[in-house]
Amino acid sequence: MSDTRVKIENLSDAIVGILKDYGEEVNLAVDDKAKESMKQLVKDTKRDAPVNSQSRGSHYRGQIASKKLTSTTHKHSYLWYVKGDKYRLAHLLNNGHATRNGGRVEGDEHITRNALRVMADYEKSVKEVIEHGS
């Protein structure tokens, strides 16, 4: 911290300025952590996604992506999704589904497992940013 002297009548303005700077710094750092977390989620779900070697054309794994939905001063949101017509497979592969003959295919929870881990890491990194700065 700098050794800046503030007169008592300017104290509230000085405090507001410091808090504003801190808020902007934390906001930028949290957005960076969110962006890193989304990249990690996409990478991990692509790695763990089941592969159908008999599939023609694009594979489910290759269609996993993310994008930034909103970006305002105090809010940044990202979306994990599956591109094209492969989006229908995400729920079935993750949670399982019934087969035509009455059987059941169990899901592998590749989305759920990775999302829970990435969210826990994200929460931890945001707490560190808030406590210690960027």
pLDDT tens digits, one per residue of 67-93: 999 888 778 899 999 999 899 999 999
User: Residues 19-44: what's their mean pLDDT?
Assistant: 93
Domain ranges of the chain: 8-48+58-132
- pTM for this one? 0.85
Token couple for 111: 């989305």
DSSP string, the chain: -------GGGHHHHHHHHHHHHHHHHHHHHHHHHHHHHHHHHHHHHHHS---TT--SS-TGGGEEEEEEEE-SS-EEEEEEE-GGGHHHHHHHHHEEE-TTS-EEE---HHHHHHHHHHHHHHHHHHHHHHH--
Which residue, 71, 69, 68, 70, is CA-closest to 28?
Answer: 71
- CA nearest 114: which of 68, 71, 61? 61
